[in-house]
Chain A
Amino acid sequence: MKLLLAVWAALGIGLAAKDTCLDCHSVLDGKLQAPAAAFAGDVHAKRGFHCSDCHGGDPNAEDPQQSMSRAKGYLGKAPRTAIPKVCARCHSDANLIHKFRPQQRVDQLALYQTSVHGKRLAAGDNKVATCIDCHSVHDIRETRDAQSPVHPLRLPSTCARCHASKQHMASYKIPTSQFQDYQTSVHWEALAKRRDLSAPSCATCHGNHGATPPEVSSVAAVCGTCHVLFEDLFNKSPHQPVFAAAGQASCIVCHSNHAIHKPSTAMLAGDASVCAPCHDKESEGGKASAEMAGLIRRLDASLEKSDRILERARSSGMEVSEALLRQTEAKEHLVKARVAVHAFNPAQLRKPVEEGLAIASQTYSSGEQALVERDRRRLFMVVSVTMIFLTLAGLWWTIRRIEQNRSVIP
C-alpha cells in the first residue's frame, strides 16, 4: 500500500484524500449533477484522476467557497478555446502519460494545431471541434472501448454530428453529404456490415488530431497507404503527369472520394464509363479503355463458365478439388488484371488475362471430363441394374414354367 501511495505521489495526481467535487455534485440536480454521474465510467477516473486535475480547486475543502476558490487554482469550466491546452497539460507530458501507457503518443496538441479545426480555433472560431467534441467529456473512454465515440465503428457518425449538419456547416460553405456518401462505399460496407475494424473511415484518410483534407497532390499517397500497387502503377502511368498538371486529384477523378463503390468494367466502357468524359470512343484512350474492359470481361466470363461446370461436377459427387484449386489461381489473374488497369495500358493486362484464360480453359476441360465420367458411371449403373432385374425376371419366369410343367405331369 505504501508503495502504491509512493507511486501515486510520484505521478503527482490523485493526491486528494477525498473528492468533495463529486460529493456535492452527485447530490445536485440536472446539469450540475451530470458530470459527476458520468465520471464513474471515465478512463481518467479509473486511472485515479479527479475533477480538480482539469478544473483546479481544492477537492479536500468542504466549503464550496474554498474548494472553488480562484486562490486555490480553481479554473471552472474551461472556455472552448482553452480545451486543447487543458488536455495537453497531461497528454503532451511524455513522462506522465508513459507511466500509464508506454506507447501512447503525446503529440496530439501539436497535430491539432496543424489541423483545420486547430487553426480555426486559434483564429477564434468557437464552433470547430476540440478534444471534447470527439472524445466526449466526463465519460471519456479509451479508443478501443466500443462505447467510445472514437471507436472505429462509431467514428464516422461522430464526425457526422457536425459534418452532416447543414446548419452547423452553413458558415463554412463545405458539403454535408460526406457521411451519406461514405455509407454507400465499399469502405463502409467493410466497416459497418463486416465489422472490419481495420476498414478505412474518416480518420484513415484525413488524420485524427491533425484532421485535414488531403491535398490534391497527395491523394494517391493517401489511397496508396493501403492500395500500394495501384499507387505504383498510377504514378508510372501517362495519367499521372496529366492529372498533376491539371490539378486533378488522381484516384478521386475515377473513384470519387467518400462514395467509393466496388469497381467494375462498366467504369471502363459503356454509358457509365469514367473514361468517357475525357476520352472520345474513337480516340486512342477510348479504344484502350474498351480493350481493357473487353479483356477483363472475357476472363470473367470464362471463369464463370468454368465455375458453373465445376460446381455441377462437384455437386454430382465427382472429385474436382484439383481443378477448383487451379480455378483460384485463375481468379488471381483476374484480380491482377484489374490492378493492371491502373497502368492504363492494355498490354499490361494481356499477360494476366491470357494466363487466366489458359487456366480457365483447363479447368473447364476438367469439369467436362468429370461430367462425362459421371454420365458414364450413371449409364453403367442403369445397365447393371437393368441386367439384375432381367435376371430376376428370367429366374421368376423359369421357376413359373417349371411349376407349370410339374402341374401338367400326371
Chain B
Amino acid sequence: MNWLLGGGFTGSVLSFLYPVLRFVNPPAVPEASVNEVNAGKVAELKPNSAKMVKFGARPALLIRVNETEWRAFSAICTHLNCTVQFHEAKHQIWCACHNGLYDLNGQVVSGPPPKPLEEFAVHIRGEEIVIARRA
C-alpha cells in the first residue's frame, strides 16, 4: 500500500514539475506557421492601392486592384528578401532594393528576382478581408 502511495505521489510531483521545467527551458521549435490572417476592412482600401499586412512574422502585400478584384502576395522579394511595394502608377509590384518588378499575378516582369512572389488567397467575408496561404 505504501509502495503504491509513494509511487503515485512521486509520479504526481514529476508530472507537476515537467511542465514547469519546460516553461523555464522551452524546447527549440521552428516558428509557428500562420495560415490565415485578418487583413482589415474593405472600406480601408481604395481601388488601385495597397497596404502591408503582418502575416506571422513576415510582411504580406494586400492590393485592391479595382472595386471587386483583390490580390495578396508575400511582400518578400525573391531576390534578396527586401520588402516589395505596390507601384500605383505602373500597376505593378516594385522592389526598391534592386528595381525588381512583378506584375499583379506576382510574376517577374524585369530586374533580378529569380522567381514569382508567393501568392495568397483573398477572402472577403462581409466587410472583413482575410488572406490565407494557398493549399
Write the residues of chain A forming the contact surface with B, with a CB cutoff of 8 angstroms.
190, 194, 196, 198-199, 226-230, 314-317, 320-322, 324-325, 328-329, 331-332, 335-336, 339, 377-378, 381-382, 385
Contact = CB atoms under 8 A, between A and B. Distances in A.
Nearest to A388: B16
27 contacts: A194-B114, A196-B114, A198-B108, A198-B114, A226-B112, A228-B99, A228-B110, A228-B111, A229-B97, A315-B29, A317-B26, A321-B56, A324-B57, A325-B57, A328-B59, A328-B76, A331-B81, A335-B80, A336-B82, A336-B96, A339-B97, A377-B23, A378-B23, A378-B24, A381-B20, A382-B24, A385-B20
A322 B31 CA distance: 13
Nearest to B56: A321
A316 B97 contact: no
B83 interface: yes
A85 B81 CA distance: 47
Contacts of B99: 228-229
Given A314-B31, A328-B76, A381-B23, A229 B98 contact: yes
Given A190-B114, A198-B108, A382-B24, 13 more contacts: A196-B114, A196-B115, A198-B114, A228-B111, A315-B29, A317-B26, A324-B57, A332-B82, A335-B97, A336-B97, A377-B23, A381-B20, A385-B17
Nearest to A385: B20
Interface string B99-116: 100000000101110110
B81 A339 contact: no
A328 B83 contact: yes
Nearest to A324: B57
A332 B98 contact: no
Nearest to B99: A228
A325 B59 contact: yes
A336 B31 CA distance: 27
Nearest to B112: A226
B24 A381 contact: yes
A198 B31 CA distance: 30
Nearest to A332: B82
B40 to A, nearest CB: 16
A385 B28 CA distance: 24
A199 B24 contact: no
B91 interface: no
B46 interface: no
Q: Which residue, of A194, A229, A381, has the highest number of chain B Cβ atoms within 10 A?
A: A229
A176 to B, nearest CB: 29
A382 B21 CA distance: 10
A29 to B, nearest CB: 48
Interface string B112-132: 101100000000000000000
Contacts of A336: 82, 96-97
Contacts of B58: 325, 328
Nearest to A225: B110
A325 B76 CA distance: 11
Contacts of B31: 314
A315 B26 contact: yes
Contacts of A381: 20, 23-24
Contacts of B111: 226, 228
A199 B112 CA distance: 9
A381 to B, nearest CB: 6
B28 A328 contact: no
B41 interface: no
A328 B23 contact: no
A335 B82 contact: yes
B61 to A, nearest CB: 13
A328 B26 contact: no
